[in-house]
Amino acid sequence: MSAIANPKKMKWLRREAPTEMRVNLLFGFLGSGKTTLARRLLKEGGGDRKLAVIVNEFGEVGIDGAILEGKDIDMVELTSGCLCCTLKGSLLNAVEELNAKKDIDVVVIEATGVAEPEEMIETFSEPTFRDHYEIGPMVSVIDIPKFTRLREMLGPFYEAQVINADVLVLNKIDLASAEELETARRAVVELNDTAELLYTEQCDLNVEEILAGKTSQKMVSYLAREDHAAAGDHHDHDHNHDHDHRHAPAQSFVLDSGGDTSRNALEAYFDGLPENVWRVKGFTHIDGTPALVQYTMGQLVVDETAPRKNHHMVFIGPDMDQSSIESGFGELFNREASDQAAQ
């Protein structure tokens, strides 16, 4: 017999015309397209809504926040940690501060790519959240071309990013073969047969499916399990709040990328990185042009961007040898050329 959540806990799910601020959580592994989706939601989801964003970055320097920043956007950056554990209190405070502004309708929360989704759902289930905010669908962005490799490499952690989603954005389908897409589709349905599937290129989707989507059913299920355990029925669930915070086993460091380099030199450097460098993201100048550099497990993407005052790159991965990775990195950049271009 399925468990039924406590009516007192369920009251926030039945609002016909909620006036409370709505919260939407985005998660997904490094490089899947979360920031692209967040940027699209902020750009296209406005109109009668006032949106804000909370960006969580695993590294010490905020790169995603710099990408998302805009003069009409209320943004909070939470760096050097993870929302599901070390920064949980900071998250709660950030949401409360945004709510205190009284004019924000929706807060989009972009979690770091190494966060544990169920820990985030647990945070959202606390009275501070569930009794005061409307919780929208949990959205996970999946990198289709890398799905099989990531699942084999990360196992249960990666599968959790599928299992705990109300909406699965199957992204980068333009870069995947028909076989890769079908393999990933079958796998995600096997892991989570209740999630809505959205097939996208560069997270191009109808933003209303997220911003106006129904209340998170994953949250409903979580509350039901909580009530089940609180009632003393442990037959089906091991209720234990002493979680081990099953992050992907990653660390991060930041390197100065101020200066100017060539596209060929940059590509040669990244081609030589070891496999345990999962993600690199940051700003520099390439052939005299301000650029956003994004590297994910062997794939390098460079986009022209607006000039920046600060230039850094964040490296993320397990058991990285910083000294080895840093060797040769500084030699890529002509500092004087960059200084002259900035004048």
* pLDDT above 70 for 16: no
Tokens 């060539």 -> residue: 262
Say if CB 309 and CB 234 are below 8 A apart: no
Cα separation, 282 vs 253, whole angstroms: 12
Say if CB 130 and CB 107 are below 8 A apart: no
Cα separation, 315 vs 317, whole angstroms: 7
Cα separation, 192 vs 173, whole angstroms: 19
Structure tokens at 40: 């699209």
Structure tokens at 275: 């496999």
* pLDDT above 70 for 81: no
Residue type, 210: I
Cα separation, 101 vs 82, whole angstroms: 25
Structure tokens at 100: 């205190």
**pLDDT higher for 92 or 329?**
329
Please give the share of the chain, as a percent, with pLDDT higher than 70.
78
* pLDDT above 50 for 8: no
pTM exceeds 0.85 for this model: no
Would you state the pLDDT for residue 124?
80
Please write the tens of the pLDDT for every residue from 109-126: 998 888 888 888 888 887
Average pLDDT over residues 192-202: 97
Domains of the chain: 18-230 (3.40.50.300), 251-342 (3.30.1220.10)
Q: What is 169-199 written as a DSSP string?
A: EEE-GGGS-HHHHHHHHHHHHHH-SSSEEEE
CA dihedral (126, 132, 134, 139) in degrees, to 10, reads -40
Would you state the pLDDT for residue 209?
92
Would you state the pLDDT for residue 46?
76
Please write the tens of the pLDDT for every residue from 296-343: 999 999 999 888 888 999 999 999 999 999 988 988 987 554 444 444
Say if CB 316 and CB 252 are below 8 A apart: yes
Average pLDDT over residues 263-287: 94
Q: For the stretch 24-59, what's the b/e string if a residue is b when 16 or more beta carbons lie within 10 angstroms of its beta carbon?
A: bbbbbbbbbbbbbbbbbbbeebbeeebbbbbbbbbb
Structure tokens at 286: 């390439």
E strands of 162-270, at which residues?
167-171, 196-199, 251-256, 260-261
User: Among 58, 22, 3, which Cα is nearest to 216's?
Assistant: 22
Would you state the pLDDT for residue 279?
92
Structure tokens at 315: 């490296």
Structure tokens at 152: 């084999």
What is the CA angle 171-172-177, rounded to 5?
Answer: 120
Residue type, 121: I
CA distances from 301 to 31, 249, 314 (A): 11, 24, 15
- What radius of gyration, in Å, describes the C-alpha atoms of the chain? 21
Confidence of residue 5 (pLDDT cuts 50, 70, 90): very low
**pLDDT higher for 225 or 301?**
301
Cα separation, 74 vs 107, whole angstroms: 9
What is the CA angle 175-181-185, rounded to 5?
Answer: 140
Least reliable range by pLDDT among 76-90, 143-157, 216-230, 252-266? 76-90
